[in-house]
Amino acid sequence: MTWARDDAKLDRVRALMGEHDLDTLVVRAPDNVLYLTNFWGMKGYDACVFPREGEPILICLEASEEDAARTAWTTDVRYVKGYAEDDPRPVPARTLDAALAAAEGRIGLELTMGTQASDRMVGEPTTFTKGWFDAWPGAADAMAVLNPARAVKTAQEIERVRLANAICAAAMEHVRGELRLGMSESEAAAIWQAFVHGQGTGWEGKVDLAFGFSLVWAGEGIKTFTATSNLPVVEGEPVLFEIWVCADGYWADHTKLLCVGELRDDYRELEAGLTEVYERAIAHCKPGASFAELDRIVRDGIASIGYAGQPTHPICHGVGARAHEPPYAHQAGGGELAEGMVLAIEPGCYWPGGGGLRLEDNFLITGAGAEKLSPFPDGVVRV
């Protein structure tokens, strides 16, 4: 799928560069290269030199020439060799040389980027080296531009996030039809992931490549931070799917719940209380609403149903070219919700020793409030 150049996005970036007195952004994180050029690289050896005025420059491996020609918005593409007989250095050194030759004026680098999305190989992101940063003395922080730019989505970005949400939901409908008593968490996860990769790739003729990432926990295996194991699906206990879909670099982040048979009474009680908290949080999400207040609403609500101090994970974050990106709802921070943001809202309650529930979907902030993006239901869905 080749997307038309998203001028609304690029114009916003340039306007913010002007506000921060930056002449050029130099980015290496795969999600920022994708954001500025629509090129999603294979190994993270690529970079973009993005001037406030003039044509952006994509720097990528010669082996990626075909992908760059098909997908990249910029017409100025400069290639580096994966192996050069006359240069024994590793590839990133040649990427750095090309970026230094192209960048001018006051430079912005990704100095305070907490996480980055993977490259198109999706599994081994290439990380920054000290030499990359040392080569740009006096550089400013590009994230002061990129974070607010990325927080508000353009129409094209919203369409791409909707595609990831649709694939994520369809995979849940598929696993809903396959889940059985005694099946292991890992088997359930494999069914979901296989659908995402197998059916999501080529989805509606608009997705070149889709990958799924999951944590699947059954009953007492439900915890805040632990890996999928081989615990069995048990009648009356929920199976929690903490799931991400990446569709050509744009993401969905959901938590969905299935149950074989009638949900146990203690889980039903927890579901009712947590749903009330979730619905109050969603109702709060309108343009101009406080992020700090959103965090308070969720955490005070969770405390009121007997789970003070929970959850240990964030209760709201942005979704776009990463599964987790700014803005975050946190009482130590500020900021307000704005129209065009896409947010994951995710309150959760967990029992000592294992078990509990989490509700999570992606929401587009509109003038009328929060629009749920996934067609798959929230709450515990019976199999």
Which stretches does DSSP call E strand in 72-122? Answer: 76-80, 107-109
Give the residues across from 369 on adjacent strands.
366
Strands 140-141 and 107-109: parallel
Query: Does the reported pTM lie above 0.75?
Result: yes
137-194 pLDDT, tens per residue?
Answer: 999 999 999 999 999 999 999 999 999 999 999 999 999 999 999 999 999 999 999 9
The structure tokens listed for 253 are 């982040």
**Nearest in space to 288 (alpha carbons), one of 352, 338, 251:** 338
Percent pLDDT > 70 in the chain is 100
Q: pLDDT grade, residue 344 (50/70/90)?
A: very high
Predicted confidence (pLDDT) at residue 378 exceeds the cutoff of 80: yes
Name the nearest CA neighbour of 218 among 249, 177, 259. Answer: 259
Question: What's the token pair of residue 240?
Answer: 């929690």
For residue 10, what pLDDT is reported?
Answer: 98
Local confidence band at 126 (pLDDT 50, 70, 90 cut-offs): confident
Q: What are phi and psi for residue 153, nearest 5 degrees?
A: -90, 145
Whether residue 129 is predicted with pLDDT greater than 90 in this model: the reply is no
Residue 121, judged by CB atoms within 10 A of its CB (0-12, 13-18, 19+), counts as: middle
pLDDT by residue (tens digit) across 53-64? 999 999 999 999
Task: Decide the pairing of beta strands 76-80 and 57-61.
Answer: parallel
d(C-alpha 74, C-alpha 274), whole Å: 47
pLDDT of amino acid 1: 73
Q: Which of 169, 351, 349 is nearest to 254 (CA)?
A: 169
Q: Which two tokens stand for residue 120?
A: 């198109």
| pLDDT given at position 2 | 86
Q: What is the pLDDT of residue 308?
A: 97
Ramachandran class of 105: left when φ > 0, alpha when ψ lies in -120 to 50, beta otherwise: left
Q: What is the pLDDT of residues 107-124, one digit of tens each?
A: 999 999 988 999 999 888
What is the spatial distance between Cα 154 and Cα 299, in angstroms, rounded to a whole number?
Answer: 31
Residue 244's pLDDT band (cuts 50, 70, 90)? very high
For the chain, what is the mean pLDDT?
A: 97
Is the confidence at residue 128, as pLDDT, over 90? no
pLDDT digits (tens, 9 = 90+) for 76-91: 999 999 999 999 999 9
The pLDDT > 90 percentage for the chain reads: 94
Q: Alpha carbon of 122 to those of 42, 108, 119, 176, 343: distances in Å?
A: 8, 26, 5, 26, 23
Binned at pLDDT 50, 70 and 90, residue 322 comes out as very high
With beta carbons less than 8 A apart as the criterion, state whether 239 and 257 touch: yes
> What's the pLDDT score for residue 167?
98
What is the distance between the alpha carbons of residues 144 and 354, in angstroms, rounded to a whole number?
Answer: 40
- Mean pLDDT over 288-301 rounds to 98
Residue 127 binned pLDDT confidence (cut-offs 50, 70, 90) = confident
Q: What is the pLDDT of residues 25-43, one digit of tens each?
A: 999 999 999 999 999 999 8
Residue of 66, 135, 124 whose CA lies nearest to 95: 135
Q: Which of 230, 301, 234 is nearest to 264 (CA)?
A: 234
